[in-house]
Amino acid sequence: MKITRKIVKINEQKCNGCGICVPSCSEGALKIVGGKARLVSDTYCDGLGACLYECPRGAITIEEREVDEFNESKVKQQIRTLKAGNGYAAGGCPSEKVRVLTKADNETGLGHQPSQLSHWPVQLTLVAAAAPFLKGADVVLAADCTAFVYADFHRDFLKNHTLLVACPKLDDFEAHSQKLAQTIETSGLHSLTVVRMEVPCCSGLSFMAKQAIATSNKHIPFREMVVSVNGELKD
């Protein structure tokens, strides 16, 4: 049934797909699709605008228009579905909140080498294709295991680079390939370096990256670094 009520409106020209709004919606009404925030369904949005204040670009407003009624029972089902599929109903996953880290964030003050990580999140699944830290970036796409095996990972790979992390064996290969292609196209990446393990299944990460570059129709520098299981660079 259609009624006139308050509901969110997303200005696609202002939205850069950073994804900050997604975890702020406790009804799971928002999703990043095609590099932009989208309202999944009118029935999930209560029109209260919790997401409004999280958007750094002012792309979300509240308007009154004729839409479907807010349906609390459908919202509960949506939240269950998101949690079951690790899609995270909002308000529920701090890992999706975008942060650009400063030097002060990385200083331990304990005499340790500071972290070279420049942003959060890092998992390819969680990073929006148009996240602000990706724009024109030199990206390192690293297999999950590499940072544990290669002792100088931060020093040799992360300084002045943006990190994305994925596993070609355990993650959704096609979804990652499409996400990466969209990222290359949307954010205008400057270069892409794959850091992977020497084990055969990990070569899929390089294949994924090359496929994504081809799909994006963008010609960007690409290189591959291979880490042995005893922590040495092979290539």
- Give, rounded to a whole angstrom, the gap between the first and last alpha carbons of the chain: 62
pTM of the model: 0.64
C-alpha dihedral sign at 21, 26, 31, 32: positive
Is residue 68 within 8 A of residue 2, CB to CB? The reply is yes
Spans of all domains in the chain: 2-94, 99-227
Tokens, residue 72: 């609390």
pLDDT in tens, 87-108: 545 444 555 556 777 655 555 5
Residues in the chain, how many? 235
Mean pLDDT of 139-156: 96
Tokens, residue 47: 């029109």
Is residue 16 within 8 A of residue 130, CB to CB? The reply is yes
Predicted confidence band of residue 167 (pLDDT cuts 50, 70, 90): very high
Is residue 205 within 8 A of residue 196, CB to CB? The reply is yes
Determine the residue type at 163. L
CATH topology of domain 2-94: Alpha-Beta Plaits (3.30.70)
- Minimal CA–CA distance to 75: which of 98, 48, 95? 48
Predicted confidence band of residue 86 (pLDDT cuts 50, 70, 90): very low
Within 8 A by CB and 6+ apart from 16, the residues are 35, 57, 59, 130, 131, 132
Asked whether residue 161 carries a pLDDT value surpassing 70, the answer given is yes
HSE at residue 95, side-chain half, CA atoms within 13 A, is 11
Burial of 139 (0-12, 13-18, 19+ CB in 10 A): buried
- Minimal CA–CA distance to 177: which of 204, 158, 198, 156? 204
Mean pLDDT of 110-135: 83
Determine the residue type at 167. C
Predicted confidence band of residue 23 (pLDDT cuts 50, 70, 90): confident
**Topology alike, domains 2-94 and 99-227:** no
- Reduced to 3 states, what is the DSSP secondary structure of residue 113? coil
HSE at residue 124, side-chain half, CA atoms within 13 A, is 29
pLDDT in tens, 186-197: 889 999 999 999
Span 99-227 CATH architecture: 3-Layer(aba) Sandwich (3.40)
Asked whether residue 145 carries a pLDDT value surpassing 70, the answer given is yes
Is residue 188 within 8 A of residue 158, CB to CB? The reply is no
**Rounded to an integer, what distance in angstroms lies between the CA atom of residue 140 and that of residue 65?**
44
Burial of 135 (0-12, 13-18, 19+ CB in 10 A): middle
